[in-house]
Structure formats: C-alpha cells, structure tokens
Amino acid sequence: MKQLLLLLSCFLLTACTSGADRAAPGDELPPIYPDYAGVTIPCNIAPLNFMLRNNPDRVEVRVSGASGDMLVKTGGHKVRFPLAGWRALLEAEKGRTLTVTVTARVGGRWIRYAPFIWEVAGDKIDPFLSYRLIEPGYEVWNDIQLVERCAESFDERVIADNNLAGGACMNCHIYGNQDPALSFFHIRGGQGGMILNRGGRLEKLNVSSEGMISPLVYGGFHPTGRYGVFSTNIIVPVFHTGQGEQMEVYDSASELVVVDFDRDNLIIPFPGDNAPVAAKPLRTFPVFSAAGDAVYYCEATEPPALPGSIRHLRYSLHRIAFDTPGGSFGRVVDTLFDASAERLSVCHPKASPDGRYLMYTVSDYGAFPVWHREADLQMIDLRSGRIVELPIVNAGGADSYHSWSSDSRWFVFSSRRDDGLYTRPYFSYIDSAGIASKPFALPQRDPSLYDYTLKSFNIPELSKGPLPFSATDIVSLLNRGNHTRPARTGR
C-alpha cells in the first residue's frame, strides 16, 4: 500500500512564499498555549489547536510523520488544524511519532523554533465527556450548566441547565462503567432529587429514610448497575483568614449507604451505622471496585474539633467487602493507605476499569482539594499494594478529581495549573507498565478560549457514547412532578 501523502495548507495569507524558509533554526521551544509540546495523544482526539504567546503576525506549522506532512500557514498568533486532514494524519500515524516544527514572524523577523514531538497512541480515548460549567467561587451557584463534549471534535451541547430548573443548585454528572445509559446527578431544592438515567430511562428519585443525615451526595454505580454507593454529608463552607488561601469545605457529619435500585431503592446502611452521629468517623467519597466485590472510601477516624483544627483533618483510604448477590457489606475494613500517618489526606478514589489501579487525590488536609494548591494525583497498584506517585502528571496547581477511560489507558482530571483559579480538563496516558505521560488540555476550536472563559470545568467524566437525554428532557421530567418510588431501609 502506498504511503498516505498529507500535504495540507490553510492559507490566510496572499503571498505564495515567505521568509519562513530562510529562518535559521533555534534552540528554544515555541511559546505555545496550551502546552502541547512532548505529549502523548489518542489517535482519535480533536485537533490540538494552539496559539503563540509572543504575538507573531504570521505562523507556519509543519507536522511530519512517516506517512507525510501537514502544513498550516496562518496570519496572527492562532493555529487551527483542519479536522479532516487531522483525522487522516492521526489514523495513518497510530503508534508512531509526529514531529512538529513552528516558524513564526515576530517583529518583522522570522524565527524557527526547536521542534517537538507528539506520540500518537493506538489506544483510543472514550469519545465523550461531561463536566459542570460554574464560576470558581462561593457566591455564584445559580448559573450552572452540565455540558457534554465530543473529544473527537469540538461539538458540545448542554445536557442540563439550572436556569431552566428554577435556579436550583445542580451537582455534577456521574457515569457508571463509562456507559451513557447509566448515569446520575442531583438537583437540589424543593423540586429536586436524584436524576437517574438507567437503561436510557430518566427518573427523578428522592432516596431517603429515617435516620439519614442528608440526601445522597457523593457516590458511584456498581458495575452491574443494580446498586449505587453514596455518602450522606452535612457540608459546611468556611473562609480562611490566612494569606493565599480562600475557602474550605468540610463535613460536620457523614456516613455511607448503598441503594439497591432493583428493590424499590432499598437502603443498605454501613455496618455499625446505628451509632450516634457524634461518635461516628467521617466517611465519604465511596466507589465500588471494578469487580463490584468491595467499596473503597475515605475516612477520618478521629476528626478534630472543626473548623478551628481544620488543618488536622485527614482522611485515609479504606476498603470493605461487598456481597453483590446478597446486597450486603462485609464486616472487616482494610486500610489501603494510612494517609494521616503520612500527614496527608485522601479523597476521590476511582478504580481503573481493569481493576489494576486505584487513583485518588492527596493534599495536606481536608476533603475539598479544589482550593489546595498542593493537591496531587496518586495511585495504588492493587496487585502489589505499591504507592505510585505521578510527578509528570502533577504541576503544583490543585490537580484533583479524575475519571478513567473504559480501557484503563487514559484518564481525565481537573487542574488549576494554568492560573490557579479556573479548573480545566487535562488528559494523560498510562502505558502497560503503569508509566504516565505528560498531560495535555482538552483541545478547543479557539485556542484562546481558556483565556477568556469565566467558567471552571468541574468533575470531568469520560463516556463511551453520547447521553440519551437533553436539557429539555430534564425540564420535562421536573415539570411532571415528583414521580419517585418510596425508599425503605434494610437492616
């Protein structure tokens, strides 16, 4: 088969030739944003459009591979790759290395920067993700959208909008098994409840029982889709007085439950749950194991007096068995990572779908890492019990909540590395040896979007396909009234 020749040009200039060919090669990398130099990318990702920060008036970019070249010429500082040519190039270069050479005219002088590479992985990433768009502050919560984005293109649509739901607070959207037919999110307020998408059927549930300290908050699905495991939390926001710190969120009480969706929302309490609230540890962020035979969660066994001793609030990582046929917890709790002994705190554990890794966020204290600059991602190799640090992934700017792709090769996570204020989604690749790659930001049609948008991209979650509902479906569900099934407790 003949090699595919990809010589594509995007001309915004009238001249047929330029001084770029005469530019002397340099030793410095181009000042591009987002930083896409030296990253590993999926073979199905959208074009990695970028811009140069030094205000050139002309730019030429050549992407070279074994199958041929792609050449893009543009006026100004923004570089956009044509979608059709980009897809053809990545398909032809799966498992290979692309070399990117940037030449720019700055102040009337042409500069050829040192080339960088893109490793094109043959492993595809799940093509859709959802996230919550919200201002990164405490005072604005009534302008929230849940959005679905295609990672293979720039197509985006709103799947829920709280301006269409009476302005009620709306929590983030969570998938089960990266399956678009299995997901949930919560709408708060009088008409709210859990919006459950199960088997592609929408339902609004008010899952509660006597003794629960709050409605359901954080949680996830069992791999069968029959169960959901959740925390119920009394959440308290407070403000720091120290310089450089803004706000903190902590639980004054929290506990775990499993909900059996197949048995009229039967609530299965955590063992020992009949103890007084004041005597209980703080347990939160529960998720099922990949096989569904255990629940991972975070626990502060002896929480300090709050909020005064907030810097001494630390959660460790635990596991308890779960019997799927019988729908019951085990009785023995294992400590996977005694983070408090290391003067650290753990939150947001997520098991890789292949069951090998458990990834989580570590910070100095607390359970709300989005405002913690020291927050980093870390994981446990569940085969060996070894702690795996991820220095190439973390950037010292609140790297936190993450979601796995269904093949366990990719994950997306939230990061404030760019400006310390706004959260953006970043992707990273993990090879078969457990080695992670340098992360890259979700590509945008306009590479300057992250500069001017006033929204954070919260809780990015990957999905194998598009969701079977829209924002109008959510409004219709809410307008039909409180169609729920009653909940009951199994002891």
Domains belonging to the chain, first-starting first, are 19-121 (2.60.40.1220), 128-479 (2.120.10.30)
* Residue 420: other Cβ atoms inside 10 A: 13
**How many CA atoms within 13 Å lie on the side-chain side of 87?**
7
Q: Residues 123, 410: contact at Cβ < 8 Å?
A: yes
Please tell me the distance from the alpha carbon of residue 284 to that of residue 296, in angstroms, as a whole number.
10
pLDDT mean over 320-335: 96
Which of the two residues, 191 and 221, has the higher pLDDT score?
221
**Six-digit token pair at 304?**
């300090």
* Residue 29: other Cβ atoms inside 10 A: 15
pLDDT mean over 110-129: 97
Q: pTM of the entire structure?
A: 0.92
E-assigned strand segments in 122-246: 128-134, 145-150, 156-161, 174-176, 179-187, 193-198, 201-205, 216-221, 227-239
pLDDT mean over 465-474: 95
Please tell me the distance from the alpha carbon of residue 49 to that of residue 45, in angstroms, as a whole number.
11
pLDDT in tens, 359-395: 999 999 999 888 788 999 999 999 999 999 999 999 8
When pLDDT is cut at 50, 70 and 90, the band that residue 202 belongs to is very high
Q: Residues 236, 251: contact at Cβ < 8 Å?
A: yes
* Residue 244: other Cβ atoms inside 10 A: 7
Which of the two residues, 236 and 447, has the higher pLDDT score?
447
For 28, 30, 59, 77, 328, the CA distances from 55, given in Å and listed in that order, are 16, 12, 10, 6, 61
Please tell me the distance from the alpha carbon of residue 479 to that of residue 383, in angstroms, as a whole number.
49
Q: Which residues, other chains included, contact 198 with Cβ-Cβ below 8 Å and sequence gap of 6+?
A: 181, 182, 225, 261
End-to-end CA distance of the chain: 66
Mapped onto helix, strand or coil, the DSSP state of residue 162 is: helix
Cα angle 49, 52, 54; round to 5: 170
For 132, 157, 161, 482, the CA distances from 142, given in Å and listed in that order, are 12, 19, 10, 22
pLDDT in tens, 156-189: 999 999 888 777 788 889 999 999 999 999 998 7
Sheet containing 145-150, strands listed edge to edge, beginning at the edge strand earlier in sequence: 156-161, 145-150, 128-134, 456-463
Per-residue pLDDT at 421 exceeds 90: no
Please tell me the distance from the alpha carbon of residue 73 to that of residue 9, in angstroms, as a whole number.
6
Per-residue pLDDT at 481 exceeds 70: no
Please tell me the distance from the alpha carbon of residue 294 to that of residue 297, in angstroms, as a whole number.
10
228 phi and psi angles, rounded to 5 deg: -130, 140
Q: Residues 441, 383: contact at Cβ < 8 Å?
A: no
Q: Residues 408, 467: contact at Cβ < 8 Å?
A: no
Mapped onto helix, strand or coil, the DSSP state of residue 471 is: helix
Per-residue pLDDT at 8 exceeds 70: no
Residue in this structure with the two tokens 């090998």, named with its chain if needed:
356
Query: Across all residues in the chain, what is the average pLDDT?
Result: 89
